[in-house]
Structure 1
Amino acid sequence: MSDVLRRRRGAGAGQTKGVNLGSDPGGLSPRLGLWVFLAAAALQPQHARANDAAAAAAAAQSQANALLARLEPAARPFQFVVKDARELKGLFTLWQQDEKIWIALRPEQLEQPFFLSYNVSHSVGERRLYAGQMGGSRIALWRRVGNQVQLIAKNTAYRAAPGTPQALAVSQAFSDSLLASAPVASAAHPASKAFLVEANALLLTDIPGYATQLESAYRLPYQLDARNSSFASARGDAGLTGLQVNAHFALARLPAPAPGQPGAPAPAMPDPRSLFAGFYYSFAALPASVMPGRAADDRIGHFATTVHDYSDDLSAGTALRHVYRWRLEPADAADAANAADTGGPGAPREPKQPIVYWIDKNVPLKYRRAVAEGVLEWNRAFEKIGFKNAIVVRQQSEQDAFDTLDARHASIRWFLGSDVGFAAGPVQVDPRSGEILDADIAMSDVYARSARRFAADHPEPGSAGGAGAAAAGAALCEYGHGGHGGGADIHFALDLLAARGGVEADLAGPQAEALAQAYVRQVIMHEVGHTLGLRHNFRASTIYSLRQLQDPRFGKQRPLAGSVMDYLPFNLAAPGQAQGPYVNETLGPYDYWAIEYAYKTLPAADEKQLLAEIAARSSEPALAYGTDEDAQANVADPEVNAFDLGDDPLLYARQRLGLTRELWQRLETRRLPDGESYATLRRGLNEGFSQLAATLPVALKYIGGVRMLRDHAGTARAPFTPVALHSQRAALALITDSVFAADSLRFSPALISRLGIDHFEQQPDIAVGRRVLALQSNALDQVLADAVAARLLDAQAAEAGGAPTLSLGELYASVQGAVWSELKQGKNIPAQRRNLQREHLKRLAGALLRPGPGAPADVRSLQRQNAIALRALLRAGLPGKSLDRETRAHLSECAQTLDEALRAPLLRATI
């Protein structure tokens, strides 16, 4: 008998000789059943043979199961493996038994591409590890290699025409990636020829790479623990198979903390050695036909796929870029022909398939209407190009079993975090065409909470509006509610208005409710824009003046900016000025233009020409556009900023710095109601520092700044225009007066003595001097940066007609004069000012001794001149008899430092 078993086990990998179930897929075939029965009977003791027929059959079946279980997994009969499992039909059929799940793959499903996405259903709720977040996606396929099944991510970034030598070269040049693999778990089914692979081995792994995110957050080597990971759910339909994994990550032990460092790395979890994260995997069918791609244009802000096509060498480059967009088509060919013939739409008509957004059942009931309104606002733009009800909103009910994180439901979800909140509007696309396949907007509850506090602290000057939300990322919007972004701005606004005398109101009152609803609505409008394929537009805030925005009637007629895709701060008026709407309310002209370019129905033969005509409108002032890369501090286009308002960013910066000083002045005299915590004053002081740190870079971009436009030839506007000298000098004066002047950052002892702390949060005593020095040091680093020096020197060559520009020497002399102003006045120098002067001296000496590798040569020569002049002033001030001992010691040490720096040889970073 053992020889027979060995022969059958050696029948070959993937073959089923001797275990063919024939026409009885639910049990053993008669031939195999007889063989197993005889084998079992031969092994039975004598008394067992006397049992009745039923007992004998049961024993035979048990023996058969034992023998079959000893077969290699790939040789086990299909139905033997799944005999107690339930079937879940879908794109790939699943079989589930207790904690085990198998995927049944038919031969024709191998090597066929499908859409794979993996999203985060739940997480730890801190340090950028939040629930309800969209993850990654791939075009993937199944591949069988012997008795191993591989889940392969296809490399879609490079291509060539199929069947050409170039296609062969592409396949040789660029690799696919292995996401997971597992052994074959059964022989082929006799009817469908499907075989099984264990989903546990494939998906109870870290395909999303979450361990790296955990290590980035906690600096600890978390590893996925497959033994304690499991499937939370599984479902499917004709075009989708979805599985949710409850993944356990663990540490063997926590490292001992360094002296003075906190020991608990993760306060949001009960035991930092263990945590669970949820991954929702979607295996979805790709569109039956690839949607025609629409070429991207750099004058309009759309996200775009990039594919390098090597089919021919008739173009200068290989990159093909297609805008992200949903497949939105007229309901019938007549509609499409009408739009094509007339060059535009007639009466708006229903699309063949609308864009459907699902409001997840975890969205609070009170905000569902505001969410729906924020989504549907975009139908205004689609109506302009001939689509009626292009966007539809549906509410997920408690009876709906699907998860909105799957690849078949664009959604809006609520999420929470213990340390920060934001909204995000990512998408997942077909990389071959740019077709958007899924979108999941994640909305934190802090927006509504902050808006209620805003309304409670200050009465509305007009009707409530919305406030944009999304963070600065080229491919992902995340407007963080912390740092120097939207969170810092709203908290600054709240504290300023409270300091102006706002009376606490009911957080559940009508004003608070109206503003909270409008704020949520605007957040959703911004995020939906991203999920329609639109990037940020940080130049959009420049199309109206501050005077217009301060008109209470203005915001009822127009938006506060050219696009909802900008980051807009609260529209705060200066004391004595009229107060316009605090927040934006509707789409801007740019938004209509961007939707037209991406979604307007165009005849294929004329599409290139018609798209060029649409894009050529980019020089219209209302369509001003600049995005994330244009807003970087090192780019220095002063018109492209996150969180500014009005057509004069320098005027906005000056106003905001004035509001910061107003807040601090009001804190000096503010009387708190009996019983209120002094932490209110500390918070207001901190918000002022944050606002100052966020506003200074707006002014800094004027120094050596250049207006950079995306125009193509024919607009009569130059792509690069240096900032005028008077504007650069005004910006420099604003910076020096606000940060480096002797009286710029002084606070009374009375205020400092009342800066309470939150004892529950165990915050340390506030050190105002250190906070001031940190702000000043950061400002010195920015204004004295080598990149700023290079900009100024380049601007001298670029200035049209030889017009005067701000010189590098003037910049250095202005900063040095402001920092060391006491020297010419013969005054004592307070400790806070001495600290600033030491920081400046450190940077001055560094320019002489160890200039940066990118420092222009003029930096060292000019700073040597400044050092000599400063040394002379220091020596001249030392004999002053009226100076206190601290000042004299400070001046003496600084003079000696400069002596040594001027005598020392240059330390070169390179030879």
Structure 2
Amino acid sequence: MRYSPSPLASVGLATAGLLLGACAPKPTPAPAPAPAASRPAGATTPAPGGAPSAQPAGGAAGGGQDPQPRAYNAVITSRAVTKSGVFKVHQVGSRLYFEIPRAELGKDYVVVTTLAGTPDEIGLRGTQGGNNVVRFERRDHRIYVREASFRDMIADTAASQRLAAELIGVTKILAALNVEAYGPDSAAVVEVTRMFTGGVPEYSALGRRAQVDAARSYIERFAAYSRNVNVTAVQSFTPQGAAPAGGGGPPGAANPNAPSTEKYTFSIAKLPEQPMMPRMHDERVGYGTVVQRDFSGATQRVETRRYISRWRLECSDRKVGNLCVPKKPITYYLDPATPAWIKPWIRKGIEAWVPAFEAAGFHQGIVAAEAPANDPDFSGEDATVSMVRWLPSATENAVGPSLKDPRTGEILDADVQTYLNVMNLTRAWYFTQVAPLDPRAQKLPFPDTLAGRLLEYVTAHEVGHTLGFPHNFKASSMYPLDSVRSKTWVAKMGHTPTLMDYSRYNYVAQPEDGIALDDLIPKVGPYDIYAVKWGYSPIAGARTPDDERRQLDQWARMQDTIPWYRFSGDAGGVDPAEQSEAVGDADAVRATALGIKNLKRVMGFLESATAWKEGDTYDNLEELYGRTVNQWATELGHVARIVGSEYRHEKVVGQVGPIWRNVEPARQKEAVQFLLDNAYVTPTWLLDENILRKVEPSGSLNRVGAAQARSLTAMLANDRLVRMVELEARASTRRDVYPVAELLTDLRRGLWKETATGAPIDAFRRRLQRVYLEQMAAKINPPTPAAGGQGGQGGGFGGQAPVSPADIRPIIKSEMRALDAQLAAAIGRTSDRMSKAHLEDARDQIKTMLDPKN
């Protein structure tokens, strides 16, 4: 998942025994294979002298002869430990064998690789690697493990189309396994030891580039179930290549580029024999997808079909009231490693979704369960077991990956990974955003009841991902700002319509609003209930995905009149209503003003809150002071996004109105003025000497200056300015736009306002003005793009295409000439020596950028 598979350097297919079979000294009679029935369609007999056999323990390859199966009991001896499931698995000494029935050849299996044990901080227990779908194909006395692809499909089954598809349908063979013996019904017995101890690059060290030492790698345990087989292996390896830039982990972590031993679980799970009927994806409603391409040419083009990711949730014949009881509820197990006091909060986070599934018609559609206490074969790494994992890591995060059937989008497995130190992250968010409203948060450490409630929120959010939902960054702008401060509204609707947004805690609320403490935290909201209904509700009478289109479209059009049902997963795009880490961004100016009020209150008790006990260090004070500055910068960023932006309302043919419309010019000018008054002035309230003298000898200039520069750089991003030029060119009247020339003039006058009065320019303002000049210089004389680069400056704003500063260069030069005249007039009336020197230097910079040759 994180790494691209790459070949091993010195452990190759032939030299390391990748053909995974013992070279028998002399064959003994074996059951004759059924030659035609067990071969996949299109199989042919390999030429004599095919790929050689190799010793299973990594010895020298054989001489190129065809494999010679032996008698069954000569391979699966009385020493064998055997477990039966979807197929039999045998362990004989250190060797592991699969016994693959004829009926399972050509069937689709997904192989899930999970990191099950690791040195400190090299990866994380429960981290999934690459998942791939494979088929076992037999040709003569070999089993080939071949990848299967479902990306390309042919709607037209005409022979000509099938032949054309075969031209692009050849998939990779991962391993060739010699048949060691044949069991009952010609079941092929193959040794797979090296497949899981370093012989297949895709299954080695999560696909990292590594040289695996077979002598220090072994099979630790295995299990077999009705749908899957699990193998846990220990792999010892030495990574190859230089260490990545920036080091390999958090402070104090082990070096991920040093020789290492790690443990992996491979779950080989059979895809459902009867695929779930997929549901078509709609851009207007947020779901993950699987993608297929249709090469039939029926519409005179290659069509892309997307199916949503969702669990197979089917009604049984039982009912509770009007709700159906599912045949198999979505079940998440609690990791046995989870601390006992945390488990109830994790359970609540899972069960928070129960009302949404009730709205979709299911009784107990999702449940939380304890892991079986005395089942040695039960494993959280099992690809058929979904679990909320508790991972001992300093990483401040939690993630919710899932495994999908590529044919239909059915979610087969999901594991929420909760890293212990996410508690530190949620504590910092809660403290900087809403501590003025919650007395429990005004002294560290938080009580367990509050820390647990924050973990409940994290769990519910990540479980949402594993139900198929991506982030919905539009949600936090869909409520009027006044509603976000209303205790009755928030009690019923939440401060954001979904907990799938990055809209953390209600920093817009003020102490006088009287909002209940639990309502400061996001919950499963109206959008979540709507999205579950849209994706999971059965549609009566529908037999194909196309039969469902009309009903799904009707539900999607509810967004036209109910704005909080709208969706966007794009936090870095053009729409200022699609933002990350925002609350109340329907009016980001007022929301940020209220947020800053709370941040000023936080600064008032920051020192006392972090004074745990006498003799302690000031580490907590330093950390939370830095987080407070960062929260200030984040909220200011929401205002900067308003300028040069366009609103988006996703629509399809038949819906009235455009998808895109301009942000009102007055709103853009208001945002610029707010930033000039709040972001681009020196924030003296953040510069508390009592705090600064306890956390650092110096550095506040860079700390605060970096936050200001972040906002200004985004404001002046090339793609924003070029977009403003285009919007102005397309406008029927200037009243519809905020001209880029006007924006630049407003910024120049505000950023250099001291030049009008001769007032001293403090160090923070001088730093900001230098950032401004550097930005202008880069637009007039852009750096030469790297080979293969696009040129231009994105500035992190997320334009639709590579941009060029050519259209804005003339107005930038004009602004610099105007500024130069402004500075020339100001120098004579500036008495402060540092300010005067700064203005003279600024003129030198302008001269250089306008005439770089001289």
CA distance in 2, matches of 1:721, 1:487: 39
In structure 2, the residue matched to 1:899 is 847
Which aligned pairs between 1:28-43 and structure 2 lie closer than 5 A? none
Kindly tell me: are residues 432 and 17 of structure 1, through their superposed partners in 2, closer, same or farther at Cα, counting changes over 3 Å?
same
Give the match for residue 772 of structure 2.
840
**Is 1:14–1:188's contact at 8 Å kept on the other side of the alignment?**
no
Q: Find the residue that maps to 2:167 and give its secondary structure.
A: helix
| Residues 95 and 585 of structure 1, relative CA distance in 2, 3 Å threshold | same
Within a 5 Å distance, the mapping from 1:859-898 to structure 2 comes to 859-880=808-829, 882-884=831-833, 886-898=834-846
- Answer yes or no: is the 8 Å Cα contact 1:103–1:199 preserved in 2: no
Residues 622-641 of structure 1 mapped to structure 2, 5 A cutoff: 622-629=563-570, 631-632=571-572, 634-641=573-580
Matches within 5 A, 1:457-472: none
SS in 1 for 2:325: coil
Residue 653 (structure 1) aligns with? 592
| Distance in structure 2 (CA, Å) of the matches to 1:669 and 1:356 | 44
Residues 73/228 of structure 1: CA separation in 2 closer, same or farther (3 Å cut): farther
Q: Does 1:407 align with 2:342?
A: no
1:367 to 338, 342, 358: 342
Partner of 1:245: 233
Is the partner of 1:638 in helix, strand or coil? coil
Residues of 2 paired with 1:505 and 1:110: CA distance? 60
- Give the counterpart letter for 1:19 in structure 2: T
Give, as a single letter, the amino acid of the residue that structure 1 aligns with 2:29: N
Cα deviation digits, residues 571-623 of structure 1 (max 9, x gap): 23346554443533642222222122222222126533222222221213354
Change in Cα spacing, 1:815 to 1:415, as seen in structure 2 (3 Å) is same
1:142 match: secondary structure: strand
- Cα shift readout 1:68-109 (whole Å, capped 9, x = no counterpart): 999986444332233232222222322212322122234443
CA distance, structure 2, for counterparts of residue 579 and residue 683 of structure 1: 28
Q: Report the residue type matching 1:195 in the other structure.
A: V
Q: Which residue of 2 aligns with 1:733?
A: 673
For residue 697 of structure 1, what is the amino acid of its counterpart?
G
Residue identity opposite 1:584 in structure 2:
I
In structure 2, the residue matched to 1:50 is none
In the alignment, is residue 753 of structure 1 matched against residue 696 of structure 2? no
- Structure 1 residue aligned with 2:132: 138
Q: Equivalent residue for 1:591?
A: 528
Tell me if 1:827 matches 2:768: no
| Larger helix percent | 1
- Report what 1:236 is aligned to: 224
Please report how far the alpha carbon of residue 546 of structure 1 lies from its aligned counterpart in structure 2 after TM superposition: 4.1
Sort the Cα spacing of 1:816 and 1:18 in 2 relative to 1 into closer, same or farther, 3 A: closer
Residue aligning to 2:479: 544
TM-score, structure 1 length as denominator?
0.77
| Counterpart-to-counterpart distance in 1, 2:755 and 2:26 | 98
Are the aligned partners of 1:551 and 1:580 in contact in 2 as well (CA < 8 Å)?
Answer: no
Which runs of 5 or more residues in structure 2 are unaligned? 1-20, 33-61, 784-790, 793-802
Q: Secondary structure at the match of 1:112?
A: coil
Task: Say if 1:203 and 1:142 are closer, same or farther in 2 by CA, change over 3 A.
Answer: farther
Partner SS, residue 102 of structure 1? strand
After superposition, the Cα gap between the structure-2 partners of 1:428 and 1:207, relative to the gap in structure 1 and judged at 3 Å, is: farther
Taking every aligned residue pair, what percent have the same amino acid on both sides? 24
Contact map agreement 1:247 1:276 (CA 8 A) in 2? yes
Alpha-carbon deviation of 1:211?
Answer: 5.5
- Deviation for aligned residue 1:702: 0.6
Find out whether 1:570 has 2:505 as its counterpart.
yes
Out of 593-602 and 79-88, give the one that drifted further. Answer: 79-88
The answer on 1:318 being equivalent to 2:312 is no
For 2:4, the equivalent position in structure 1 comes to none
Partner of 1:60: none
Q: 1:236-288 CA deviation, whole Å, 9 max, x = no partner?
A: 02221111122223258998x99xx9999973238962333332211122212
TM-superposed CA distance for 1:667, in Å, is 5.7
- How far has the Cα of 1:898 moved from its partner? 2.0
Equivalent positions of 1:792-811 (< 5 A) are 792-797=724-729, 803-811=735-743
Per the alignment, do residues 524 and 389 of structure 1 end up closer, same or farther by CA in structure 2, a change over 3 Å counting?
A: same
Give the distance between the partners of 1:741 and 1:265, measured in 2 at CA: 35
Match of 2:658 in 1: 718
User: Does residue 347 of structure 2 align to residue 352 of structure 1?
Assistant: no
Structure 2 CA distance for partners of 1:559 and 1:847, relative to 1, 3 Å: closer
Q: Which moved further from structure 2: 243-252 or 150-159?
A: 243-252
CA offsets, 1:853-892, max 9 Å, x none?
42343421111111112222332233447232x3333333
| CA 1:273–1:505: 2 relative to 1, 3 Å | closer
The separation in 2 between residues aligned to 1:157 and 1:174, in whole angstroms, is 10
- Within a 5 Å distance, the mapping from 1:170-185 to structure 2 comes to 170-178=165-173, 180-184=174-178
Aligned mates of 1:270, 1:742 — CA distance in 2: 42
**Paired residue secondary structure (1:364):** coil
Question: What letter corresponds to residue 849 of structure 2 in structure 1?
Answer: A
Aligned equivalents of 1:571, 1:648: Cα separation in 2: 14
The aligned counterpart of 1:694 is 634
Residue deviations 1:89-145, cap 9 Å, x none? 222322212322122234443333222222222334547x22113333222112345
Q: 1:385 to 1:202 in 2, by over 3 A?
A: closer
Aligned-residue offset at 1:805: 2.0
- Structure 2 CA distance, aligned partners of 1:743 and 1:520? 33
DSSP-derived class of the 2:96 partner:
strand
Instruction: Name 1:99's counterpart in structure 2.
Output: 94
Does structure 2 conserve the Cα–Cα contact (< 8 Å) formed by 1:158 and 1:307? yes
SS at match of 1:366: coil
* Residue pair 1:116, 1:139 contacting (<8 A) in 2 also: yes
SS at match of 1:249: strand
- Which residue of 392, 396, 409 corresponds with 2:371? 396
Q: Aligned partners of 1:497 and 1:222: how far apart in 2? A: 52
780 and 373 in structure 1: CA distance in 2 versus 1, 3 angstrom threshold: closer
Residue type of the alignment partner of 2:473: F
Q: Counterpart in 2 of 1:609?
A: 550
Q: Which amino acid aligns with 2:741?
A: G
Contact 1:361/1:397, CA 8 A, preserved across alignment: no
What CA deviation, in whole Å up to 9, does each residue of 1:289-343 have, x standing for no partner?
A: 12111111111111121111223423654111111122222224x99xxxxxxxx
Secondary structure at 1:861 match in 2: helix
* Paired residues of 2:506 and 2:520 also in contact (CA < 8 A): yes
Q: What amino acid is aligned across from residue 237 of structure 1 in structure 2? A: Y
Q: State the 1:703 CA deviation.
A: 0.2
Q: 1:848, 1:773 → 2: CA distance?
A: 24
Shift of the 700–209 alpha-carbon distance from structure 1 to 2, 3 Å rule, reads farther
Q: Size of the alignment, in residue pairs?
A: 778
The correspondence of residues 450-529 of structure 1 with structure 2, limited to 5 A, is 450=424, 481=425, 489-493=429-433, 504=443, 512-529=447-464
1:417 aligns with 2:426: no
Q: Deviations over 1:466-505 (max 9, x none)?
A: xxxxxxxxxxxxxxx4xxxx6753352377679x996647
Contact 1:429 1:435 in 2 (8 A): yes
Q: 1:204 to 1:487 in 2, by over 3 A?
A: farther
Check whether the contact 1:636–1:704 (CA below 8 A) recurs between aligned residues: no
3-state SS, counterpart of residue 156 of structure 1: coil
CA drift of 1:149 comes to 3.8
User: Higher mean Cα deviation, 113-122 or 780-789?
Assistant: 113-122
The 3-state SS of whatever aligns with 2:356 is: helix
Question: Cα offset for 1:729?
Answer: 1.0
Alignment of 1:817 with 2:757, yes or no, is no
Given that residues 124 and 268 in structure 1 are in contact (C-alpha distance below 8 angstroms), is that contact kept between their aligned partners in structure 2? no
Residue 378 of structure 2 aligns to which amino acid in structure 1? F
**Residues 783-792 or 635-644, more deviating:** 635-644
Task: Work out whether 1:116 is the aligned partner of 2:125.
Answer: no
What's the RMSD between the two structures over aligned residues? 3.8
Distance 1:690 1:815, change over 3 A: same
The alpha-carbon distance between structure 1 residues 705 and 124, as it changes in their structure 2 partners (threshold 3 A), is farther
Matched, 1:198 2:192: yes
Q: Mean Cα displacement is larger for which, 398-407 or 111-120?
A: 111-120
CA distance change for structure 1 residues 540 and 266 in 2, over 3 Å: closer, same or farther?
A: closer
- 2:645 matched to 1:705? yes
